[in-house]
Structure 1
Amino acid sequence: MDKRNLLWVIGLLATLLVTGCTTTPQGSTTGVDSKRMFEYALVFDGFTPDEMLEMENRVMAFSGYRSHRPVYQGYRRSELWYQSDEPAPDVHRQLAAALTDMGIANLVRLDSEQILVSKITKRTPKPAPVVPSGEGW
């Protein structure tokens, strides 16, 4: 093997080592990050801190989950930066299913790279005033 071929092989091996690529028996190259990674801003409106804590735990269990980081957290509004291998419609579907499983009425909207999640609260009707019997007009 001459010097030029040896340098080419060393360069190829270094590239494969750095990128984490391997060659399959069929000869095609696959990398560690062979799937495309997507980044989203998950914005939650109307959720308490306890609900957000549970939601963060559920987000980590989603298929395709890579990482997440809280960006903003107020009392009723939170925002997470979320990385996933899954496209937006799949993340949307997983969010809606997780919220339904938690028993939270919700509205999940997809807007480009932002997924807006709103908690729907239902007002309970006020009970009718109780009038003691025998003392009515």
Structure 2
Amino acid sequence: MADEDGSECERNQPRDVWFLAGTFGSHATRACTVPSGRPIAFPVVNFFGDGSDCAAFMSSAQGTVLLDGKAVEPETYQDNSVTVHSTQGNAVTGEEGRFTTAGCGLWVQLPSLELGAHALKVRGRSDDFSTGVDYALTVEASSK
């Protein structure tokens, strides 16, 4: 999430989906190469806490996503139970450990994209918290 330019885009990616990061409430411009055949998932705006925190956050959550200039509708997640596995020094939790909490937000899940260049613009807001990321995505043939 602190990656300003996309140089950390490949870090810790699972084999079955490609995750793109949001921000901590700022704007970032990132370039990222994605292997072909991978669906892509990313937050528009999201939060975790207890159920009432999520309800308050989601009461004003809104966002827009443009992929190659075309609108993509985010999915709403209200109060899902999530398990967080955090390492020491984690920028989100600040501590190491495993805990279960409520997660909420607006997310997008895209099927794998065609080979080549794609522009992705993500904007999200809830009350006075806002986030934005402009991604220059390049989908390349997978080496596997």
| Greater radius of gyration (CA) | 1
Which is richer in strand? Answer: 2
Using CA pairs below 8 Å that are at least 6 residues apart, which structure has the higher relative contact order? 2
**Which of the two has greater helix per residue?**
1
On whether the aligned pair clears a TM of 0.5, the verdict is no
- The TM-score range, normalised by the shorter chain, is under 0.3
Using structure 2 for the length normalisation, give the TM-score.
0.27
